């Protein structure tokens, strides 16, 4: 089957995934993207919704209003992923929606841009859209190991090769001990099958320069988080934040306390779950039991 050269496509299609905690950074990502957009084609954005409140959805929509942007909310099924899966560190289930992307988006889409919600777009996203994927399953930035924060995904190929099934199987195999959920899976399943994106499209905060088109605040330290003042170039985040419905938001003292409290409650939950799952792990055929369900 001949793959898609999108030059003829009349819409730029982009997918984000976010849970409620990422509402504000998602608004910043969308806002920065639309402020720096220079093209006549419309952007159709799909947001895989991991539980964003109505109030935050309205704020997100207000943050990026433009004749060139259409937003579609996609509610994923509740049982997409194996039960008992533990998301380590700062990760949550929303991170894994991207491995099921082909089933969550309209079946006629040949390709899509995937963006993390912890990015700020400084360049024209239409230029990323117009890059030819060729025969690759996806394009990503990385040397040897791909970074999954900015992807140009060949959906046609993804469906043709049943990648969603392969990725889900890989997830089940590693159900109890995956360190970086989606990214490890993509690297394992797509080894040797992905092409390279220029570093400008997924630049680490400390390396931002005049060529940077997307800056990716990729570690656990986020500009809006407790150690936000230690993040290089975090001003870029706040520059666009002040153009959103969250304009003026800063991590003041009460918010800092609130974030700490939430952080500890999440860590406690995870610790409890991981004790439970390590008991399950010792039982034989844990993954087989899942397959049978
Ligand atoms: Mn990220």
* 286 Cα: distance to centroid of ligand 1 (angstroms): 30
* 3 Cα: distance to centroid of ligand 1 (angstroms): 28
* 156 Cα: distance to centroid of ligand 1 (angstroms): 25
Element holding 285 (H helix, E strand): none
Average pLDDT over residues 125-151: 95
Q: Are 137 and 157 in contact (CB under 8 A)?
A: yes
The token pair that represents 175 in the structure block: 């159900």
**What's this model's pTM, rounded to 2 decimal places?**
0.85
* 194 Cα: distance to centroid of ligand 1 (angstroms): 19
* 118 Cα: distance to centroid of ligand 1 (angstroms): 5
**What CATH architecture does domain 9-252 belong to?**
Alpha-Beta Complex (3.90)
Percent of the chain's residues with pLDDT above 90: 58
Q: How far apart are CA 184 and CA 42, in angstroms?
A: 33
* 117 Cα: distance to centroid of ligand 1 (angstroms): 7
- The helix/strand/coil state of 91 is coil
Task: Phi first, then psi: give them for residue 32, nearest 5 degrees.
Answer: -65, -35
In 66-175, which ranges are E strands?
69-74, 111-115, 119-121, 138-141, 147-154
Q: How far apart are the first and last CA of the chain?
A: 35
Residue carrying structure tokens 């993954």: 287
DSSP character at residue 83: T
Task: Name the pLDDT band for 290 (thresholds 50, 70, 90).
Answer: very low
Q: Kindly report the average pLDDT of the chain as a whole number.
A: 86
Q: How far apart are CA 151 and CA 136, in angstroms?
A: 12
Residue 38 class from Cβ within 10 Å (0-12 exposed, 13-18 middle, 19+ buried)? Answer: exposed
* 1 Cα: distance to centroid of ligand 1 (angstroms): 32
Domain boundaries, the chain: 9-252
* 29 Cα: distance to centroid of ligand 1 (angstroms): 11
Average pLDDT over residues 254-269: 88
Give the dihedral of Cα atoms 146, 226, 54, 46; nearest 10 deg: -10
Q: Given the DSSP bridges, would you call strands 119-121 and 138-141 parallel, antiparallel or unpaired?
A: unpaired
Highest mean pLDDT among 6-10, 41-45, 103-107, 277-281 belongs to: 41-45
276: left (phi over 0), alpha (psi -120 to 50) or beta: alpha
* 77 Cα: distance to centroid of ligand 1 (angstroms): 23
Q: How far apart are CA 64 and CA 30, in angstroms?
A: 6
pLDDT at 103: 85
* 8 Cα: distance to centroid of ligand 1 (angstroms): 30
> pLDDT digits over 231-251, tens only?
999 999 999 999 999 999 999
The token pair that represents 150 in the structure block: 């900015």
| pLDDT over threshold 80, residue 101 | yes
Average pLDDT over residues 27-39: 98
Give 49's strand partners: 18
* 150 Cα: distance to centroid of ligand 1 (angstroms): 8
The token pair that represents 32 in the structure block: 């920065």
Average pLDDT over residues 157-166: 88
């Amino acid at each position: 089957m001949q793959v898609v050269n999108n030059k003829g496509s009349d819409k730029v299609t982009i997918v984000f995934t976010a849970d409620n905690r990422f509402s504000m950074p998602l608004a910043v990502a969308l806002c920065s993207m639309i402020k720096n957009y220079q093209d006549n084609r419309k952007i159709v954005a799909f947001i895989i919704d991991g539980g964003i409140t109505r109030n935050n959805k309205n704020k997100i929509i207000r943050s990026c209003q433009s004749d060139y942007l259409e937003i579609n909310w996609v509610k994923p099924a509740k049982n997409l992923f194996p039960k008992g899966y533990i998301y380590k560190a700062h990760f949550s289930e929303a991170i894994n929606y991207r491995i099921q992307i082909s089933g969550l988006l309209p079946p006629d889409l040949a390709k899509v841009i995937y963006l993390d919600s912890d990015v700020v777009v400084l360049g024209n996203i239409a230029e990323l859209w117009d890059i030819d994927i060729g025969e690759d399953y996806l394009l990503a930035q990385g040397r040897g190991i791909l970074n999954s924060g900015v992807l140009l995904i060949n959906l046609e190929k993804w469906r043709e090769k049943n990648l969603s099934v392969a990725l889900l199987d890989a997830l089940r195999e590693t159900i109890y001990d995956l360190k970086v959920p989606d990214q490890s899976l993509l690297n394992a399943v797509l080894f040797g099958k992905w092409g390279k994106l220029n570093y400008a499209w997924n630049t680490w905060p400390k390396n931002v320069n005049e060529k940077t088109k997307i800056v990716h605040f990729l570690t656990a330290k986020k500009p809006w988080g407790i150690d936000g003042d230690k993040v290089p170039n975090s001003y870029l985040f706040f520059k666009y934040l002040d153009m959103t419905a969250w304009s003026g938001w800063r991590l003041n003292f009460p918010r800092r306390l609130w974030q700490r409290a939430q952080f500890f409650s999440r860590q406690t939950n995870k610790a409890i779950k991981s004790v439970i799952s390590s008991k399950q792990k010792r039982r034989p055929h844990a993954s087989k039991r899942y397959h049978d369900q």
